[in-house]
Structure 1
Amino acid sequence: MPYAKFIRIFALCAIILSTTGILSPLEAQQADARKTTCDTITVGGPASWQPVSYIASDGRQSGLGIDIIKEYAKRHGIKVEIDIELPWARTLDLLLQGKIDVTAGAYFTDERQRVYQYSDPFYTDEIMVFQHVDRRFGYSKIEDLRGYRGARPHGGSLGKKIDTYSSQQLDVMYSPTNDRIFDLLRAGHVDYVLLARYDGLATLHKLGAQDTIIAVEPPVDHNPVRLMFSRNSPCVKHVAQINMLIAELGQNGTIDDRTKYHLEQTVFSLETGS
């Protein structure tokens, strides 16, 4: 074949490959390498979930779940990228695709377990009933909420017990943000709010509403919090070792110390209770 004709055919093939999205052998090799290595752990999560993942007053993306991932990454020479400012639904979509490797925290559900990989629990969240002090009603168990209208966050789970019971037995509306959910309660549009204890208390302090809206004991439920990995991420292979780290940090007191630190940064002093 004449050399000039060969060059024309080769150039035409290159154009076809670039326009059809078919990878060249080198590009395919590079893509495979990206899929199978965990040089960087990309972290997503809620931006206001104290003490698990939140944005601090100085703009830092912080939290207990992020601490665990950073400690593991430091020990194993892995970089960490954090973006907890995306909407939760968008975060889960990117996690499913493997574009985010892990969320800094999530409750366990059977549906999620089928598509994501959980770590062992590292924290336990208390789900509370928040009421306005001027419109209190008797509450000691979830069944007492029947006949009242409530609100809960949109797009997230409050655990299997609450998710199931509220969908079948309760009159509950959904709010996109914590600020808005308490506005509904202050305005009298709902009778109560279902939210994690410290998540709710941090929001109330931010709104200056901690004296008019209170968390009513006892908790509705206790939900273990876990890291949640994408099954399409190469970093999922580290879950077993991360579980060992979680056990170590729990046994040596680090998790308790860091939990106290994050709550003091975002909610109140655990020593003074204010």
Structure 2
Amino acid sequence: MSLVLVSVLAVTPNGFAGTRSCDQIRINGSNVWFPISIRHEGAENLSGVFPDLAQKIFRSMQVDVAFGAEVPWKRVFVQLESGEIDMVAGAYHTKDRARNYVLSSPVIKEPVAIFVRADMTDRPGSLDELIGLQGLAPFGATFGEEFDNFAKEHLTINRQSFDDFSTNMELLVDGKADYLVIARHAGDMMLKDLGVEGQVEALPWPALENSLHYMFSKKSPCLKHISAFQKELEKRVEAGEAANMMKAFNTSTRGQE
């Protein structure tokens, strides 16, 4: 079992401060984070690497799963904090999240990219060279303390709340900003969906690479399942299942082009 889980469970031995029984695991996540967690138009359930892998693991444990309704990303963590849901299927590690929730061991590492217009002549070669430029990032997104603290102190990044995260990419294409900070796979998918692959591209260096985890509510009545979930998760990650699922999603998407 990971040290993260051991330390938190030691503080909450009974696992739940409320009255709801654990008849199923209630999961929510991002609606638009390809291929981590996505919700297709009109679909009730989430799909993607993290929701699909969680379902496989809980199915092997004979535990039922239910997905929460579509809500904004920041609202998902309000649900987790209150115990309205039991788990978030995929989120970056931060110190605050490690303190407030029960984190699984790392599942994958996801590079965060800086996207710029292809005709940009003086391209930034580091985070320091983003200083003075106008940036964009998804509303509510956090990429880890190191980048977030640097951005807060040195960068100008507009984080507006849009119904569709792709609006940020459209603003970049239209010249309303100099760069967009977003998870690499999600950004690549946006380029394909919008048909602007020749107009925008990721810089060759990542802004950072952060680990992605499942996150459990400390108020969940289902904390009793975490040890078994973690054991099965570690076995599957070590066997390469999560990495293979990432590749499969990307391959199937390329095949649809």
What residue in structure 1 maps to residue 11 of structure 2?
none
The runs of at least 4 aligned residues of structure 1 exceeding 3 Å deviation read 56-60
1 or 2, which has the higher helix percentage? Answer: 1
Task: Give 1:44's match in structure 2, choosing from 14, 28, 37.
Answer: 28
Structure 1, unaligned runs of 5 or more? 1-31
TM-score (norm: length of structure 1):
0.80
2:57–2:233 Cα contact (<8 Å) kept? no
Cα distance change on mapping 1:263 and 1:236 into 2, 3 Å: farther
Task: Give 1:250's match in structure 2, choosing from 237, 244, 249.
Answer: 237
Is 2:108 the counterpart of 1:123?
Answer: yes
In the alignment, the residues of structure 2 paired with residue 113 and residue 251 of structure 1 have an alpha-carbon distance, to the nearest angstrom, of 22
1:129–1:220 Cα contact (<8 Å) kept? yes
Name the Cα RMSD after superposition: 2.3
SS across alignment from 2:177: coil
1:136 Cα shift?
A: 4.1
TM-score (norm: length of structure 2):
0.85
1:151 Cα shift?
A: 0.6
What residue in structure 1 maps to residue 8 of structure 2?
none
What residue in structure 1 maps to residue 6 of structure 2?
none
Computing the radius of gyration over CA atoms, which structure comes out larger, 1 or 2?
A: 1
1:53–1:84 Cα contact (<8 Å) kept? no
Aligned residue runs from structure 1 range 77-156, under 5 A: 77-83=62-68, 85-156=70-141
Aligned length: 239
Bigger RCO of structures 1 and 2 (CA < 8 A, at least 6 apart): 2
Aligned residue runs from structure 1 range 187-226, under 5 A: 187-226=174-213
Letter paired with 1:122: V
Cα distance change on mapping 1:237 and 1:148 into 2, 3 Å: same
Cα distance change on mapping 1:57 and 1:155 into 2, 3 Å: closer
Cα distance change on mapping 1:66 and 1:84 into 2, 3 Å: farther
Task: Give 2:149's match in structure 1, choosing from 150, 159, 164.
Answer: 164
Q: Percent identity?
A: 27
What residue in structure 1 maps to residue 38 of structure 2?
54
1:41–1:81 Cα contact (<8 Å) kept? yes
